Chain A
Amino acid sequence: MLKYIIKRLIFGIATIFVVSTLTFFLMQQVPGGPFAADKSISKAAQKALEVKYGLDKPITVQYLNYFKNALHGDFGISIKQRGRDVAQIISSKFPVSARVGGISIILSLLVGVPLGSVAALNRGKILDRLIIVFATLGIAVPSFVICTILMYILGVKLELLPTYGLTSPLHYIMPVLALSFYPTAYIARQMRSSMLDVLGQDYMRTARAKGLSENVILFKHALRNAILPIVTYMGPLVAYTLVGSFVVEKIFTIPGLGGEFVSSVINQDYTVIMGTTIFLASLIIVMNVLVDIAYTVIDPRIKLK
């Protein structure tokens, strides 16, 4: 298995290299550039800025410089947020997003898995229908709508919860709810269909024939097999949720990485775009390896080579 992991990590590094190279050249193709402003600044000022950030050099030179520095762990300084370096931006903003994201992943698992299972076990009954309605809503309603509704009811009308920032546990409630709505719904749906699939398998009949108790059948045999698709989904879900959601962070004024991601693209802050992209790509690769390992634990039939 160790060999497998090493192989995956080598492929991972190659992937990161390709992703970052593509990003580097594509972002420079977008018209405007980081110094494009409402009002044109003088040629001399424009030039001075380009020299300061090394953008006056040919793009291939910039590319080589960037990777030379990146390999030494230097991801450069932000062009727009003067004085902040990229590593510092990521290391100060990621924990904020990761905390909100981590809690909402746990919440969506704790709610989504039982919900889907219950729906499958009560197939066609009223309870199943209700859960399907919830799950469809959760997938169809965009998060900004959920945020706005939560904010309006809990924050503005009832004044139960604070509307911005993350300074107390109470502050977490709305962003976590908003962030976990979609994954909860998705997990519930996925869980329902894979549970139905598993319940119809031959080995379930065998288990029942052996006279195992219903609890053992459900928790040991059914759930364990039905949860595999959820584990697959966890890889990208965890990576994307931990780095934060632009919408949720913007609406609840959370100083997280999600906002940084989008605003760096809008501002064409090249170094921040590169830094956040490489960071997310690495996170996704690591999560996928972890998911693969988790497979072998859950399903002994799967062997990693």
Chain B
Amino acid sequence: MKKRFILVTLALAGAIALSGCGGGSKSAKKVSGKILTIEMGPEVESIDPALNTTNDGANYLTYLFDNLLRTDKDGKVVPSLAQKYEVSDDGLTWTFHLRDGLKWSDGSDFTANDFVYSWQRMVDPDVAAPYAETVLGMVEGYDEAIGKPDENGNQTTTPDITKLRVEAPDDKTFVVHMSHPTPYFDKLATFPALSPVKKDVVEAKPDGWTLDPKTYISTGPFKLAEWKSGSYLMLEKNENYWNKDAVKLDGIKCLLMGDQNAAFSAYEAGDALMIKDIPTQEITTLQKRPDYRLDPQIGTYFIDLNNTLDEFKDAKVRQALSLALDRKYISETITAGTYTPAKGFVPAGVVDWDGSSWYDHLTDPSVYINVDDYQGNLAKAKELLKEAGHENGAGLPTIVYSTNDQSYHKKIAEYLQQVWGELGVKVEVNIVEWKSFTPQRRSGNYQAARDGWVMDYNDPSNILQLTSTGNGNNSSKYSNPEYDALLEKAANEADPQTRFGYFHQAEEMLMRDMGVTPLLYYNEMYLQSDKIKDSYHTTDGIWHFEYADIAE
């Protein structure tokens, strides 16, 4: 009897424990009306503009926050919170004039001082914003603001964020002082990281303000209604947005999935109208569908040949190995058309000083790769290898090509093994776990490696600096003082056309030396139902749904 009692008690305790787990979810505000459901990735790390590092996060922030400027459907930078702006003749002072009557999503007034607070917060070492240097490193006083770190990142002075030269002479004017001309700063001003955040809510809960819709006060077309960690982000229309009449949706539901098959099922079942994670193995079938979209991304997939090693010191060897690659074949056959063959290091989507394509302004097109003439390239490759004294690979060691095993990396590695093998160069493929791969590559502890770069903003400096001496991301260890000098000149040049001239010279120099081996340009693949109207995708990786509509 006693034992039966214990057994029953145990069972009851278990049942209570389980049922106690039920309920509990706080009643979140229901958003109703026209709601667009999309999927862009798994649980988002942070929706604090200063802390986000991911592309999916940048998209959500684009809906939640507004910025000084925005990108329109033609990729042009247009006024947003700022009605207009001017740049001084020396390119060092940027003055933004804010719109009248701007409000936060809670209805309180928005002023230029909110920008001063947000940008100074961005550089605060205590906030530790990963992109601070990328977006604000060129602003005067940046070094003092972060405490003048030495080579190892240790502060040598006490950080003083008020040293960052951003000012609000009045409530509607915001002035930024640069330490050197930054003609692409208009593009940076569209960057989600530079969105203004509200001082009182952030200071009340510096780490947790983004978790609760009540303290998540924003300025964008939408505001946060609910964040169900691991499930979805629910955004609802912000009635206090200055341009709310242009916003047609009542809400956007961002599914936090990340699993390709789960996302695809949700899409096929009609639950989501746009998904970014599509099953790789389905791509060849999906390509035939009208809702499969492929948009260019400004990024390059390239190969690093460790320039410090004896076998790769000769530019002819690097040239030969590059020319032996049939980029069209890799693009069309290996990657099923999801990548575009690369002619040079700068991605095809980069715009020149006058807004036309970068590749319309080449001064010496002969140094670029002619992707349409593989047989010619191959013959040249053999010729160059012979000139370098390595006919049929004689005298070259076995090359270990390191890559992580994701998407098409391994297939491309096998391709290299085959074509370089035909030149007489033996290749061994070394698959490295992702977390170890990048540090290993950056430290130069490899022979040949896969690499890639998706640009942070549409300005060639962002990718060309990768091959400058001492850059933290210079994995190929290409080092050419003339190249560095050209980039330095460009950095101090206020005239856009002259500045871009330096960039073109620099890239041509890089191509002659084949400091890195460009292979492909990245594209963005996704499924989007034609029910979504008036949305657009820009090369900075943002799907603009803020002014979109759903057709019935």
Residues of A within 8 A of B (CB): 30-32, 35-49, 51-52, 77, 80-84, 89, 92-96, 98-99, 102, 148, 151-152, 155-156, 159, 162-166, 250-256, 259-260, 263, 268, 290, 293-294, 296-297, 300
Cα of A40 to Cα of B438 in the assembled complex, Å = 9
Of B17-25, B286-294, B541-549, which stretch is located at the interface? Answer: B17-25
Is B130 positioned at the interface, with any CB of A under 8 Å from its CB? yes
Contact B435 A293 (CB under 8 A): no
Contact B255 A82 (CB under 8 A): no
Contact A31 B435 (CB under 8 A): yes
What is the 8 Å Cβ interface bit string for chain B, positions 17-52, against chain A (1 contact, 0 not)? 110011010000000000000000011011010010
Nearest CB in chain B to that of A98: its residue: B21
Contact B46 A42 (CB under 8 A): no
Nearest CB in chain A to that of B265: its residue: A163
Is B551 positioned at the interface, with any CB of A under 8 Å from its CB? no
Cα of A113 to Cα of B241 in the assembled complex, Å = 61
Question: Cβ of B435: which chain A residues have Cβ within 8 Å of it?
Answer: 30-32, 36, 268
Nearest CB in chain A to that of B146: its residue: A44
Is B525 positioned at the interface, with any CB of A under 8 Å from its CB? no
Cα of A256 to Cα of B17 in the assembled complex, Å = 17
A82-B48, A156-B268 known; A164 and B257 CB under 8 Å?
yes
A102-B21, A253-B257, A294-B10 known; A43 and B439 CB under 8 Å?
no
Contact B269 A156 (CB under 8 A): yes
What is the minimal beta-carbon distance from B368 to any residue of chain A, in angstroms?
A: 25
Contact B261 A46 (CB under 8 A): no
Cα of A43 to Cα of B261 in the assembled complex, Å = 38
Contact B45 A47 (CB under 8 A): no
Cα of A260 to Cα of B256 in the assembled complex, Å = 13
Contact A293 B146 (CB under 8 A): no
Contact B46 A163 (CB under 8 A): no
Contact B473 A82 (CB under 8 A): no
Contact B10 A293 (CB under 8 A): yes
| Chain B positions 427-457 with a Cβ under 8 Å from a chain A Cβ | 435-436, 438-440, 442, 453
Question: Cβ of B155: which chain A residues have Cβ within 8 Å of it?
Answer: 44, 47
Contact A253 B256 (CB under 8 A): yes
Contact B255 A44 (CB under 8 A): no
Contact A165 B24 (CB under 8 A): no
Question: Cβ of B271: which chain A residues have Cβ within 8 Å of it?
Answer: 162-164
Cα of A43 to Cα of B130 in the assembled complex, Å = 10
A83-B211, A255-B228, A256-B230 known; A47 and B265 CB under 8 Å?
no
Nearest CB in chain A to that of B3: its residue: A297
6 residue pairs from A and B, CB less than 8 Å apart: A41-B133, A52-B126, A164-B271, A250-B262, A252-B262, A297-B4
- Give the top 9 A-B pairs by smallest Cβ distance, nearest first: A255-B230, A32-B435, A43-B153, A47-B153, A95-B21, A44-B149, A40-B472, A83-B207, A48-B125
Contact A251 B133 (CB under 8 A): no
A102-B21, A156-B265 known; A250 and B258 CB under 8 Å?
yes
Question: Cβ of A255: which chain B residues have Cβ within 8 Å of it?
Answer: 43, 228-231
Choose among B18, B210, B232, B439 the residue that contacts A83 (Cβ–Cβ < 8 A): B210
Contact A81 B154 (CB under 8 A): no
Cα of A167 to Cα of B22 in the assembled complex, Å = 12
Contact B22 A99 (CB under 8 A): yes
Nearest CB in chain B to that of A46: its residue: B153
Question: Cβ of A93: which chain B residues have Cβ within 8 Å of it?
Answer: 229-230
Is B334 positioned at the interface, with any CB of A under 8 Å from its CB? no
What is the minimal beta-carbon distance from B272 to any residue of chain A, in angstroms?
A: 9
Question: Cβ of B6: which chain A residues have Cβ within 8 Å of it?
Answer: 293, 297
Cα of A124 to Cα of B133 in the assembled complex, Å = 73
Question: Cβ of A30: which chain B residues have Cβ within 8 Å of it?
Answer: 435
Is B7 positioned at the interface, with any CB of A under 8 Å from its CB? yes
A30-B435, A81-B46, A82-B46 known; A95 and B24 CB under 8 Å?
yes
Of listed B45, B147, B230, B266, residue having the most chain A CB within 10 A: B230
Contact A159 B269 (CB under 8 A): yes
Contact B210 A36 (CB under 8 A): no
Cα of A80 to Cα of B228 in the assembled complex, Å = 17
Of listed B3, B130, B442, residue having the most chain A CB within 10 A: B130
What is the minimal beta-carbon distance from A270 to any residue of chain B, in angstroms?
A: 13
Other contacts beyond A47-B155, A294-B7: 10, CB < 8 A: A30-B435, A37-B438, A45-B153, A81-B45, A82-B48, A163-B266, A163-B269, A254-B230, A290-B10, A293-B6
Nearest CB in chain B to that of A147: its residue: B261
Question: Cβ of A263: which chain B residues have Cβ within 8 Å of it?
Answer: 42-43
What is the minimal beta-carbon distance from B149 to any residue of chain A, in angstroms?
A: 4
Nearest CB in chain A to that of B13: its residue: A290
Cα of A44 to Cα of B128 in the assembled complex, Å = 9
What is the minimal beta-carbon distance from A79 to any residue of chain B, in angstroms?
A: 10
Question: Cβ of A252: which chain B residues have Cβ within 8 Å of it?
Answer: 262
Cα of A74 to Cα of B108 in the assembled complex, Å = 36
What is the 8 Å Cβ interface bit string for chain B, positions 267-279, against chain A (1 contact, 0 not)? 0110100000000
Nearest CB in chain A to that of B452: its residue: A38
Is B132 positioned at the interface, with any CB of A under 8 Å from its CB? yes
Nearest CB in chain B to that of A89: its residue: B229
Question: Cβ of A49: which chain B residues have Cβ within 8 Å of it?
Answer: 128, 130
Cα of A162 to Cα of B270 in the assembled complex, Å = 11
Cα of A83 to Cα of B204 in the assembled complex, Å = 13
Contact A81 B126 (CB under 8 A): no
Contact B438 A36 (CB under 8 A): yes
Choose among A48, A96, A254 the residue that contacts B128 (Cβ–Cβ < 8 A): A48
Question: Cβ of A51: which chain B residues have Cβ within 8 Å of it?
Answer: 125, 128
Of listed A47, A152, A293, A294, residue having the most chain B CB within 10 A: A47
Cα of A158 to Cα of B265 in the assembled complex, Å = 12
Is B152 positioned at the interface, with any CB of A under 8 Å from its CB? yes
Is B129 positioned at the interface, with any CB of A under 8 Å from its CB? yes
What is the 8 Å Cβ interface bit string for chain B, positions 284-310, against chain A (1 contact, 0 not)? 000000000000000000000000000
Question: Cβ of A148: which chain B residues have Cβ within 8 Å of it?
Answer: 261
